[in-house]
Structure 1
Amino acid sequence: MKLLMMIVLLLLGSQHALGVEVYEGEESVLLPCQVPADVSSSSTSAVWDRDELKKSTVHLRLKSSDDLNDQNSHYHGRTSMRVDALQTGDLSLTLRKPTVSDSGTYTCTALKDGQAQRQPGVVHLKVTEPPPVWPIVLLAVLVPLIIPAAAFVLCVCCASKRMKDRQVPQSEVVEVGQQESVLLSFQTTANLPRDVTVQWTRSDSNTMVHVYESGKDQPGKQDPGYRGRTKMNEDPLRTRDLSLTLKDTLLTDRGVYTCTVKKDGHMLLQKSVALKVKAPELQEVEWRQGDKSVLLPFNPTADLPQDATVVWRLTVFKHMMVHVYERGKDQPDKQDPGYRGRTEMKKDPLRTGDLSLTLKDPLVTDSEDYTCTVYNKGGDKLLQKVVLLRVTVPHTEVVGLTQEKESVDLPFKTTAVLPQDVTVEWTDPKHRKVHVYESGKDQPDKQDPGYRGRTEMKDKDPLRTGDLSLTLKYPNVIDSAVYTCTVYNKGGDKLLQKSVTLIVRTPWMAIVEVTQREESVQLRFQIPPDLLQDVTVEWKHLDSNKMVHVYASGKYQPDKQDQDYRGRTEMKEDPLRTGDVSLTLKDPHFTDSGVYTCTVYNKDGKKLLEDSAILRVRVTLMDTMAEMLPHPRPHKHRRAQSDLGHRNRNHEDVPLMGVQSA
């Protein structure tokens, strides 16, 4: 080791927190970082960052080469990593020609597709000016004379309790979230004179954090950035508790804090505490496709300088600016063109403390991680928050009609401003293309032959008006299905998507006939399977307005049905999954005859589907005679040859029950 160079590696409470000290002017300094080889080999890149800088990237290493496009200009030509770093797990960084301004906290992270593989390694670098040469030469001459005397003094010091209290305690690490309060602890057993001065300073920047002197705090002597944010206990010299409370922590508060007790310019006590400020956990926000806007929340409690800059950007693509607020106003010329006109912040956000961002006309591709960063005038990071925007697709819209209609519209209207080069595709459940609109016109050669000549966009200029509805001509029962409209950009990315359920029913009401002697009768009703899982299905007898059967919250609700039907009705298992909400009525009696209606409601009580059937329970001569006998013998129930007995007045077959829109 060179005489003028000193590197000290101190373990600061975790395997990733290291302290490195070096003199300015040395050829280079090594910032160590080791990860397991299996972690590094599965990573796609490794990055060194210095978070207190506005442009935080110090060095980025890919599998085969360095990527220095986003490197902070302060480090150009001064950093290097091993060429086999990601293969061996040695991600250490060599920094050439270190200067005092390089002092700070550096993080080393192994990434896979932009995501951290493990907790980042942290290195605290301190670069100090070298001592003058003449004391070293003098020391070399005097060492033989000093050693015996020093040994004697050392023995006396070890025996002295006072000198024991003057020893510098080992540094400790404290971790806290941003915008929280943290205690930098320092308690001593030494009896301190009343005229000492207590100073808390930032070791990495020589910033005066807090001063206690002449029996009281001295806010005029501390750095303006800490005014109103620090506090010591009352009468700290009597209690011997010199701890400091720091409020509303910022990302720039990261560093090593040193408390020094002085009397007449001489140091009596000293202790250092390393403070690590971590960003808050990811907050998730859900956006229902079709909503006109979504709010990405950020409401810090810290008092922010009025000349601060607020930047919202995509987390993965740091260069893609979503919104920039600077010099007291929005800066649309600095944001990515894809977000221009679609974002806004509330008025005077730095004064109100509400830095939330409203994103208007959201698209499917807007489902991303968004990072909001607040910078001070010097470009240092003050606060940061990450918001994950998730897309939730709403329930499909239901359209019902009778087969006799000439056409039906599958609705889809959007307020989003769409590029003129997008492609609009309507598909069915079998992924067949029902309709394609591309290059400003319909593309019949790209649609499935079964739909050719039967479809057209409802609006002649759908991209300008935002009406992407599809008209389907000559609908029939077999067209009942879920249709999906997807809008793609030129690169093939999904921008918008919506599904519409079409149900086509026959125009006749089903008639079900059964004799009174039958065991049961079934009233059929089929809905699209897996349409909705939180709906309520109600069967009613319209003539008497009695509730026949209720299925809600995933189960049969006997307490909600009329007493006359209790124990006599049932539906098949898991009807919403199968789509079969048919009702079986046991022991039908001629008084059960009438019109039965089945209605499907959503969770808000809105009617989605409804259909009716006529039940006729015929009474035979044998039934009449049995009713007249005083003690009729119980007859043996037998099942009819057909459970349904679908016959009309002329005993002709009629179609099964259909469904219609509410």
Structure 2
Amino acid sequence: MLVSFDHMSSFLNFHYDFTETNIIYGVIYLFCLSERLLVSGSSRSISASVGEDVTLNCSVDSHITLQDIEQVSWKKTDEDEEIQVLLYQDNEILPEASDQRYSDRVEFFRDEIPKFNFSLRLKSVRTEDKGVYMCEVLAGGLSANTTVELERLGFSVSHIMVLILCVSASGSALLLCCLIYCRSLHKGFFGQQTYNHQFNLGSSVVLPCHVDECLLKKNLKVEWRKKDSETLVHLYEDGESRAQQDYQDRAHFFTDQIQHGNFSLRLDDLRAEDAGEYICRVYSGLFTVNRTAETSLVPRFNVKGSSGNNMVPLGESVVLLCQVDKSLLENSLKVEWRRADSETLVHLYEDGESRAKKQHKDYQHRAHFITDEIKDGNVSLRLDKVRAEDAGKYTCKVYREQDCVHSADAELEMLGFDVKCHILAPLGSSVVLSSHGQKPLPVEGLKVEWRRTDVDSDSDSDFSDSETLVHLYQNGKSRADKQQQDYQHRAHFFTEEIQHGNFSLRLDDLRAEDEGEYTCTVYSKKKHVISAKTNLILRLLDPVFRLHMSLVFCPNVLMLLAFVLWGVSEGSVSETVCCCALYFLRPLLLLWAAPYIYHFTGKIKSLILKYSYVVEYLALSVVVYSALFTSAWQKLLNYDVFERAMIIVLFVIVFVCCLCKIIYSKYFCDSHLRV
């Protein structure tokens, strides 16, 4: 087919005109689109309190379609680099594109997106969220944006609580430092008094209690109570003495000595039920004088049985013997231990095993057979943690086929009491070192010595050079000229009471150097008849010590709570865990390092000395380095191979150093404990 040149020319002119028209219309369309791509936000900055939710406004002109919008990006722009807050792309919300700091805290209003509303909800605002945020919209190759400023972040309730806790912790720590610095003003003596002889049932014992005369005022009231049951033993009030019925005619005050601060109680005709702890409370005027003395009557038992007599102290274990001939042993063997006075089942062995469930509840977990020795005919009973009420007669019966083939008796007899007294006396006050006989001694030929037995003495007296003579009573009078110089005018006998068996010593103006062991020895006609010992230990008085302990724990507990609240409001998990671990473990180090360790005794002291420092260092190291390693591991992929290797090597070095430190600390603590 042939086409003329004119036709071809006309076609080309038409095509050119059509293409040119399309380009012109396209440019006009794009110009109009750019004119209509308007993004608007808030004209003013936004204020919010930490922990609240806030909305950052961003809306797009609705004359374009939703399909024309390619991307909406929210970014924080006032940092060194832009931080991606949230991204909308290809008609989808992409929360995984958000920076970790905004993860799970930002969202669009999905129902508002079709209305071209791309406002952002920022939840649980933190202090680091303060700054400038930009909403950038891309559509048809064009872009537009708006910015919103988040400023003036106010404090939330949790932040105010954190501030209060921190201030309280700081105040408590400051008070603790002041108390440690001034601790000598709060020290006093804790005295432990013991006798080398036993107070038999039916005899008398004096429970000591003394108060400085300067504390005594009108309206004086004195109570002696049994500590475990708060039973009133004796009462002195309005100048009259009144005894509780069970102690009628047995409990007496030294009435003529009350005006001198002597509130000791004499308990006559000792009985088994008198065992226990006794406490003296003195009320003078409108206040209560601090507890000055506690006395414990500790029973001692005598075990009677086929093996003879054995002395057993309270709380120890005792074996009540019962031995049968081996020929009687069969599978059907039955052994019963019962109280003879009440038929109470103490323990039962039947069908080859102990029947602990059938025994009386008072003996559960305390009464046992020596199972390994039953095959040898030994069906003795071991009774643990002996109590005062365990005194009495016990019967062992062995049965074979319902017939009793063997019977044995044992008796746990209470003979008397060991007396232990505990006293408290502040520095500068007076303390009475008690010593009482069971009965009065004739004054003729009586000699009483109080000595300090824990130090060497430079005294020129005729007595042992290894002891300090505190005071001497001889030939019917006190021999102040014989006592060591440091105790002159400070150590006094109750001279008028000596004839009644009271050999106690009053030591005035207590000093720190008075700490030590004091022994009272009484001779009657050159024969040693009585000995008592008192050990004065210088320590923080109980109320002050408890205050110190509360101040050791309280600041750290407060800071622990503060960091928990801070972690909740700010979301800094690693920092929160590390700081909480630090304040949770710090009391261990304080107890180890501060001047409290020697106020503990026994197992607690050993545990603190041996393990507290090591446990704190080990636990804190594990927590802190775990947090650091976790953070480094998350960022490890961003480093090259050499940097990764260096990070791993450094962590290994740190781990080895910590391990060496722990081993050294363990050795140091063990050495310190041995010293």
Global fold match (TM > 0.5): no
Structure holding more strand per residue: 1
TM-score, normalization: structure 1? 0.28
**The structure with more radius of gyration:** 2
Larger relative contact order (Cα-Cα within 8 Å, sequence gap ≥ 6): 2
